[in-house]
Every structure is written in structure tokens, then in C-alpha cells.
């Protein structure tokens, strides 16, 4: 994960040096990353639509080979091959999402290392100094930015975003109502995204009962629910910069799905 976090750090720092605000830099970084991921999103959406068209044929195979699971598996896989469709393509997207999730967590947790490329020796020196002053050191580099950034420009990052300190951790600042704004918006957009995904899955399965062969599709559906829950759990114990990244990503995903759904419908006509 450090490898990807390091690469993402160069991009995020480029926007930070250009704008001078950590929050805006995260927003631009999120948009750029979503654009880079667009080909995978398009392929995934096309696979979902193609799978929906195959549901009637799969239903016929279910009825024909309901007493012969092995034959049903073989005929279903042959159908996927004839239609040049890979039922496992959604899994790749899920894996990529998990890699990005943890890489960005590393980046936001340690912005001095991955974004500002501050000397390791200086980070260790300041970390030891802060440890002597406070026992609360869950995110050493965030503590360094707060405590030492005022006196040393090398470890300073402007984390004020519309009056919200993006270095704040919700579980460590429960009395500050502002820490709930970004995670709250993230939760709302997560449920909207999950609802959109559920509606697409329902369209896929409206041909009838779910078949055992389509277990991969069901796994992909489960992933669409697991990812937001996992993200929310991490967001409340991580600096707010991470929640902001996920919030912008959610908004981008919602807009992307609406656009692609309309675009792919026009392409079919």
C-alpha cells in the first residue's frame, strides 16, 4: 500500500502546492482519480447491462437443467463465453477499490511522509517530542502538523476547509459538532449509492429466481454493501481528510452512474 500511497502523494501535493489548501487539493485529487478509473467503471456498467440481457436465457437454462447442477454450470459458462462476457469482471473492480481505499488511508494518515516527503529523521524527532507532551498519539504525523506546523514550515499543511479542521478525528473530538458534517454527508451519499446499486441489481434479477451459477454476481452485490460499511467504520476513526475524499468519491460515483446509464442506453438504441 505504501507504493500506491507514495504515488498518490505526489499528485495530492501537486494540487496542494498549486492551491494552498488541503481540502481543495483532496477534492481535485478525488476527481482526477475517478477520471483515471472511468474505463473500469464503463466496463463494469456494460457488464451489468449485458448480464441483465442474459437473465432470460439463464432462466431457461435453470428450468432445463434444474436437476443437473453440473450441466447447468457448464451451459451457463458456455453462454458467458459465447457472449464474450466475464462474470468475474466485477471482482476486479472490487479489488481495485480496496487497494485505493487503504492507499488513501495511508496517505491521509501520514501526509508528511507520502505527500510532503518530509525527512524521516525530522518526523521521528518531532514524534518523540510530542510523545513526551501527550499520550494521545494515534496519528503522529497529524499531531506534528498541529503542534509543530506553527513553528516549522517543513511540517505545515493548511488543513482548514470551510471552517473545518481536516486533521481532526471524529472519535477524538466528540464535543465539536463540526466533525460530524463531512462523515454525515458521506453516510447519506453512501446510502444513495447503495440504493442505486441495489436498483441495478434488481433489474438484473427481474427475470426470476436467483441461480446458483450467478454466485459471482451475488458476491459483487455484497461487495457494494460491504465497502460503504467498511469505509464508514474507518472514516470515524481517521482524520477528516479521508472522509472528505470518500464524500467526493461518492458524489462522483453517483453522477458517473447516472451519466453512464443514460449514455449506454443511447448507445444501445
In this predicted model, what pLDDT tens digit does every residue of 4-14 receive, in sequence order? 999 999 999 99
Q: 213 versus 235: which is more confidently predicted?
A: 235
Average pLDDT value for residue range 242-254? 89
Q: How many residues does the chain have?
A: 269
Task: Find, among 263, 17, 258, 257, the residue nearest to 117 by Cα.
Answer: 17
Residue 210: predicted pLDDT: 44
Instruction: Measure CA 31 to chain center.
Output: 12
Percent of the chain with pLDDT over 90: 33
| Number of CB atoms found within 10 A of residue 91's CB | 14
User: Which H or E element spans position 79?
Assistant: helix 69-82
How far is CA 67 from each of CA 63, 79, 213, rounded to the nearest angstrom?
9, 19, 14
Residue 207: predicted pLDDT: 43
Distance CA(210)–CA(202), nearest Å, equals 11
User: Which H or E element spans position 175?
Assistant: none
Tell if the pTM clears 0.95, that is, is over it.
no
Q: Is the pLDDT of residue 93 over 50?
A: yes
Q: 219 versus 111: which is more confidently predicted?
A: 111
In this predicted model, what pLDDT tens digit does every residue of 129-187 receive, in sequence order? 888 776 556 789 999 999 899 899 999 999 999 999 999 988 888 888 999 999 889 88
Amino acid at each position: 500500500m505504501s507504493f500506491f500511497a507514495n504515488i498518490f502523494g505526489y499528485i495530492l501535493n501537486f494540487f496542494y502546492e498549486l492551491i494552498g489548501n488541503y481540502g481543495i487539493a483532496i477534492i481535485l485529487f478525488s476527481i482526477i482519480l475517478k477520471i483515471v478509473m472511468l474505463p473500469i467503471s464503463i466496463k463494469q456498467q456494460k457488464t451489468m447491462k449485458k448480464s441483465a440481457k442474459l437473465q432470460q436465457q439463464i432462466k431457461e437454462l435453470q428450468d432445463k437443467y434444474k436437476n443437473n447442477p453440473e450441466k447447468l454450470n457448464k451451459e451457463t459458462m458456455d453462454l458467458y463465453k459465447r457472449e464474450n462476457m466475464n462474470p468475474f469482471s466485477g471482482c476486479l473492480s472490487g479489488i481495485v477499490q480496496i487497494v485505493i481505499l487503504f492507499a488513501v488511508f495511508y496517505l491521509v494518515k501520514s501526509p508528511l511522509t507520502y505527500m510532503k516527503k518530509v525527512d524521516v529523521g525530522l518526523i521521528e524527532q518531532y514524534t518523540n517530542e510530542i510523545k513526551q507532551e501527550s499520550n494521545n498519539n494515534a496519528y503522529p504525523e497529524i499531531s506534528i502538523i498541529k503542534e509543530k506546523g506553527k513553528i516549522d514550515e517543513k511540517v505545515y499543511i493548511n488543513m482548514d476547509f470551510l471552517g473545518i479542521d481536516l486533521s481532526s478525528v471524529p472519535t477524538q473530538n466528540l464535543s465539536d459538532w463540526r466533525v460530524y458534517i463531512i462523515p454525515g454527508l458521506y453516510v447519506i451519499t453512501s446510502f444513495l449509492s447503495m440504493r442505486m446499486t441495489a436498483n441495478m441489481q434488481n433489474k438484473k434479477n427481474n427475470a426470476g429466481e436467483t441461480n446458483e451459477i450467478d454466485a459471482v454476481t451475488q458476491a459483487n452485490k455484497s461487495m457494494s454493501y460491504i465497502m460503504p460499511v467498511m469505509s464508514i467504520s474507518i472514516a470515524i476513526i481517521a482524520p477528516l481528510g479521508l472522509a472528505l475524499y470518500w464524500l467526493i468519491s461518492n458524489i462522483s460515483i453517483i453522477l458517473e452512474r447516472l451519466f453512464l446509464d443514460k449514455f449506454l442506453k443511447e448507445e444501445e438504441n
